[in-house]
Amino acid sequence: MAVYRDYDQSGLDDQYDLRRRVADAAEYVAHREAASARVRGAVVCRTDIAYGAGAAERLDVFPPSGSAAARTAALAPAVIYIHGGYWQLSDKSDTSFVAPAIGAAGIAFVSLNYALAPAVDMDRIVGQIRSAVAFVWRNSADLGIDRDRMVVAGHSAGGHLAAMAAAADWPAVAPDLPADPIKAVCGISGLYDLEPIRLCYLNDVLGLDAAGAGRNSPIGLAPRIPGPILLAVGGDETDEYHRQQTALAGSWRERGADVREMVVPGAHHYSIIRVLADANSSLCRAVCELVTAK
């Protein structure tokens, strides 16, 4: 019996059960954890800055590196990055290994933490990300960031949260915020329609109901940012991940957004972040170019 589109329960679960699909997923996770620890031990960075009162409401800031940073004393543009993990796993410390590639382009890298399900629900997680972005905007000078050149990016669940940041009514979040504290957004292998998430095995932890899935699905919301939206997906992702990207791109283009799509050949859900961490990759260059895109 179909539970979503043409998928029965087993088929839908299979589309999102990525650790079972990628045989060496654990090796990719171990690599990023070890590589991130090496980066934090080798570069100047500020870690565990509180953006809220909750224990998980912390962020790390990696200033630009190398000659690009040395040439100017001005505040740096920033990529604010949100980790994945199906809203229930992982940590900002797993993403530090991406910072050198972003920093080499003269861009600061800010990595966000948020509380995880089932301790909190999706509304709370989305709210924390918006609070974190507001904190970076308000405290940009102290963080060494040019608040007029901030981009939000994220992978998997982080791609969903980045898209929710793009759809935020920022003055309603807080009256001191401008309509556009972020100028562009990138979702990497993101989840933009939460209805299949509600109907698959992931909801055993997330606890979404139909209303919660609807109000937290970017596909049904309007983007509110002035700059482009970059959506990237690995060529070896499941059909549902490709559909998620195509559906959001179509929905947001209909609403007048400048949506740019990429398919990263040969990349699956775990390897695509290694591609982002390569300063010479087309994905890394495209993310960095969002800082100056018009």
pLDDT, one tens digit per residue, over 169-209 is 999 999 999 999 999 999 999 999 999 999 999 999 999 99
Query: Nearest-CA neighbor of 81 among 132, 36, 37?
Result: 132
Q: Residues 6 or more apart from 70 whose CB is under 8 A from it?
A: none
Q: What is the mean pLDDT of residues 68-97?
A: 87
Taking CB atoms within 8 Å and a gap of at least 24, the contacts of 165-171 are: 165/129, 165/130, 165/133, 166/218, 166/223, 166/224, 166/225, 166/229, 167/218, 167/221, 167/222, 167/223, 167/224, 168/130, 168/133, 168/224, 169/224, 170/130, 170/134, 170/224
pLDDT, one tens digit per residue, over 219-240 is 999 999 988 999 999 999 999 9
| In the chain, where the domains are located | 2-289
Q: Residues 6 or more apart from 64 whose CB is under 8 A from it?
A: 76, 103, 104, 105, 106, 107, 108
Q: pLDDT value at position 292? A: 79
Q: How far apart are CA 264 and CA 244, in angstroms?
A: 15
Q: How far apart are CA 294 and CA 292, in angstroms?
A: 7
Q: How far apart are CA 172 and CA 78, in angstroms?
A: 23
Q: pLDDT value at position 69? A: 43
Q: pLDDT value at position 70? A: 44
Q: What pTM did the predictor assign?
A: 0.96
Percentage of the chain modeled with pLDDT above 90? 95
Tell me the CATH number for domain 2-289.
Answer: 3.40.50.1820
pLDDT, one tens digit per residue, over 38-54 is 999 999 999 999 999 99
